[in-house]
Amino acid sequence: MQADVFVEYLEKWAITFLKKDYGRQTDLTEIWNTTMEQMKCCGFNNYTDFSDSYFYQTYNKYPSPCCPDNKDCQESEIDESKQGCLNEFQVFLNKNGKIVGGVVLGIGALELAAMIASMFLYCQIGTSS
**pLDDT band for position 100 (50/70/90)?**
confident
pLDDT digits 0-9 by tens, 23-33: 999 999 999 99
**Distance of alpha carbon 9 from alpha carbon 110, whole angstroms:** 29
Q: How far is CA 32 from CA 43, 61, 71, in A?
A: 8, 16, 16
The mean per-residue pLDDT over the stretch 70-99 comes to 81
Domains and CATH numbers, the chain: 2-128 (1.10.1450.10)
pTM of the model: 0.67
Q: Which residues contact 32 (CB under 8 A, 6 or more apart)?
A: 17, 18, 22, 63
Cα 33 from Cα 99, distance rounded (Å): 25
Q: What is the pLDDT of residue 78?
A: 84
Q: What is the pLDDT of residue 92?
A: 80
Residue 79: partners with Cβ closer than 8 Å, 6 or more residues away: 42, 66, 67, 68
Question: Which residues, including other chains, have CB under 8 Å from residue 66's CB and lie 6 or more apart?
Answer: 36, 42, 43, 47, 50, 73, 78, 79, 82
pLDDT, tens digit (0-9, with 9 covering 90-100), for 48-77: 899 889 999 998 888 988 888 767 678 888
Which DSSP state fits 48?
G
Measure CA 90 to chain center: 12
Q: What is the pLDDT of residue 129?
A: 55
The mean pLDDT value of the chain amounts to: 86
Look at residue 20 in the predicted model and tell me its pLDDT.
93
